[in-house]
Structure 1
Amino acid sequence: MTGDDSGATSRGADTGGDAVAVPTGDPASDPAGTGADPAGSDDIGDIGDNGASDDSGDSADSSDDAEHAENADSADSGEDGDNDSNDSNDNNIAVKLEQLILGADRRYTPFQAARSAGVSMDLAARFWRAMGFADIGQVKALTEADVLALRRLAGLVEAGLLSEAMAVQVARSTGQTTARLADWQIDSFLEGLTEPQDSGLTRTEITYPLVELLLPELEEFLVYVWRRQLAAATGRVVQAQDDAEMVDRRLAVGFADLVGFTRLTRRLEEEELGELVEAFETTAADLVAAHGGRLIKTLGDEVLFSADDAGVAAEIGLRLIETMTHDETMPELRVGIAFGTVTTRMGDVFGTTVNLASRLTSIAPKDTVLVDEAFAEELGRTGEAPVSEADAAAAEKAAQEGTGSPPPPYRFALQPMWQRPVRGLGVVEPWLLTRRG
């Protein structure tokens, strides 16, 4: 559903807000790097629950023993014991899963990790927060891999390859992207594969051997896809005409929005709604990629895409409408596309062109594609569509009579719509985009 705020800026990227609890803390409160937490354990998050805190284990065990002793004579003590045993078993498996995925035990406090990596605590905290990790005081929660990551980022800054601000951006963009990827894999992928096949095993118990088998394969695949995407992005930058175009580029930007999605959320069951959104996002992503565009992001009932070429964007917009129209399970769709200067940052797009595409989507009739005047002119300039059907008809007639050259083989048709004021953008003249039949 297209919002009223300013384009992509109103659609915040997923920051991976509840990512794994990790670092900071004031080194002054722990000058020796002992790992003691002077502020207490309230900000530790789930580390104590996972049994990873060295300081809380004995007291937790003695407390549990006392509680079990008090409940020994109660009628339901057996049931309570079973629940405690299950909880303990789940916690043990959670710790083992973390060790398997991270490849090392927790052994450093944030201060100790920063000192070992040779960076200031302040810079380490900035890196960790940028990656999406929560503050945890001075608990031993970090591994050798955390130290190595700090050392690498700091090394890039020291070598002059990245400024400190750029290194923080690298940490933030990587953290945001991988946080969403990890959530998707756990929620959508592992959940389906870990359905218990044996009533004697829990999903948690099945997850460990499954992750053990999948982890190296998924890691290699992730690196492969990243390299392919990096090669494509680098190619686009190299082809830019000048340095300014690398940041502020002329692009076609489009939104595709499901009509009546809010009503659907009230009518459909959660599972049905989830399946519909997944089908829409999958179809849109496949179409955008297949025709040479780039999917910027998905927002449930809406997708944002871009293309270097107006003809490519026009084909994507029309294909989305045609595909969804032939799917009886899908609601109607509307698409808005604008062409102009776009600021790209951390994989997202910003600017007036993005805002205009969003507004065009919100006023587009069902199952139609609306474009702005600049987009229509770009299609005319590249010979993809006649800006004036009358001029195109005259050219065709002249060619038939032998008094003129035949017009280009136009793929698209453009029909001007009524001018209208658009909030924040003044008066715009939308154009209806169709195939030339």
Structure 2
Amino acid sequence: MTADDGGTSRAVRATGEDGAAHGAATGSGHGRPGETHGNHDNGHAEEGDPLALRLESLILGAERRYTPFQAARAAGVSMDLAARFWRAMGFADIGQAKALTEADVLALRRLAGLVEAGLLSEPMAVQVARSTGQTTARLADWQIDSFLEGLTEPQEGLSRAEITYPLVELLLPELEEFLIYVWRRQLAAATGRVAQVADDAEMVDRRLAVGFADLVGFTRLTRRLEEEELGELVEAFETTAADLVAAHGGRLIKTLGDEVLFAADDAGTAAEIGVRLIETLSHDDTMPELRVGIAFGTVTTRMGDVFGTTVNLASRLTSIAPKDAVLVDAAFAEELSRSGDAPTSEAEVPEEERAKYRFALQPMWQRPVRGLGMVEPWLLTRRA
């Protein structure tokens, strides 16, 4: 998207009103999905791969009608604001190609309307666009790379490309409805967590348990395994971790290939997740050893991610944890003791009373941790 003065923006790649994959490949065979080359004054869509254009029209539910300038004008917003929104959503530059649809105009008008009504500030609206774009881009890439590709094996007399169109036509409404359902469920859960916060300040800076789980020796594995084997291992690890985190009441913040980051509202939940990860993966012969580090404290949450000293501490604990073990910080150990999930001191609890606790804590040697000073780690185990 380009303003009259030559400034650039990004075109929307959106599904329907929400703005998902634009995805029209060009006849040149170069460039990212969504990129177009050249500009035509005759009002027709840019030339490109006919199937790609048919798929785009099917997914978006509308034909190309607008240049970015025309779309901004139709939405009643300035080119500058339109450019900020489209850049935030992460769409490819298209200059002034006629590649946008009514859905793009409607999405832009809705975001701008929230700002005009005072429901969102302009920076917050841009943040909404960015977080939505980043999340749905990853989802769309996964669906194309894994799910859709797996269902479009070439058939006798038909190419994969020829199979794709009718398959997308069948799947699109079902996947769209499912996406809305999951989003509403996640929104309800997130809203419920906020509603339970007693202090308004805690809506942004909250006290949480934050944990990392890291595969040991992953760098060596990348040199030893074939790409397909490595991909299968990472997928199995991420799937197992995501399932365990969700099943036991935590939240998966993000996955980083050989590492996952999770959070929980209380130490007991995080302890269960950490120990379960070790128990589950240590019995899987295809998996390398695992290290888990968990810390408890104030965390800043932003766009679904978590930041702060507590997160950094959890990461450092992971790096120094023994193989197939969970290491926690002193604040986490204190919180676990306060909740009655583990005793403060094993020595002070009679042996016959220890069975009432779910976990055991063993103090480790204090050690300096880069950027955080002296740290007092505790080894967390499940009580037999």
| TM-score normalized by the length of structure 2 | 0.90
**Alignment size in residue pairs:** 362
**Matched residue, 2:104:** 146
Verify: 1:425 aligned to 2:372, yes or no.
Answer: yes
1:27 Cα deviation after fit? 2.7
1:420 Cα deviation after fit? 0.6
Is the 1:157–1:164 Cα contact (8 Å) retained in structure 2?
A: yes
**Relative to structure 1, is the Cα distance of residues 55 and 338 closer, same or farther in structure 2, using a 3 angstrom cutoff?**
same
Give the aligned residue type for 1:434: T
Correspondence list, 1:16-415, <5 A: 24-28=1-5, 54=40, 91-198=49-156, 200-393=157-350, 409-415=356-362
Cα distance in 1 between the residues matched to 2:94 and 2:120: 28
Is the 1:281–1:303 Cα contact (8 Å) retained in structure 2?
A: yes
Cα distance in 2 between the residues matched to 1:206 and 1:341: 51
Give the aligned residue type for 1:132: G
1:298-348 superposed Cα distances (whole Å, 9 cap, x missing partner)? 111000000001000000000000000111111100100000000000000
Give the aligned residue type for 1:208: Y
Is the 1:52–1:106 Cα contact (8 Å) retained in structure 2?
A: no
Gaps of 5+ in 2: 8-27
Calculate the aligned-residue CA RMSD, in Å: 2.3
Cα distance in 2 between the residues matched to 1:266 and 1:106: 46
Higher RCO (CA-CA < 8 Å; seq separation 6+): 1
**Relative to structure 1, is the Cα distance of residues 411 and 48 closer, same or farther in structure 2, using a 3 angstrom cutoff?**
closer
**Relative to structure 1, is the Cα distance of residues 192 and 97 closer, same or farther in structure 2, using a 3 angstrom cutoff?**
same
1:355-413 superposed Cα distances (whole Å, 9 cap, x missing partner)? 000000001110000000000000111111012111112xx67xxxxxxxx67821000
1:29-79 superposed Cα distances (whole Å, 9 cap, x missing partner)? 69xxxxxxxxxxx9x956898789535999x99xxxxxxxxxxxxxxxxxx
Give the aligned residue type for 1:379: L
SS in 1 for 2:106: helix
Q: Which moved more, 1:132-141 or 1:422-431?
A: 132-141
Is the 1:415–1:432 Cα contact (8 Å) retained in structure 2?
A: yes
Is the 1:50–1:94 Cα contact (8 Å) retained in structure 2?
A: no
SS in 2 for 1:253: strand
* Greater gyration radius: 1
Give the aligned residue type for 2:191: T
**Matched residue, 1:17:** none
Cα distance in 1 between the residues matched to 2:315 and 2:41: 53
Is the 1:383–1:408 Cα contact (8 Å) retained in structure 2?
A: no
How high is the sequence identity, in percent, across the aligned residues?
Answer: 83
Cα distance in 2 between the residues matched to 1:45 and 1:321: 43
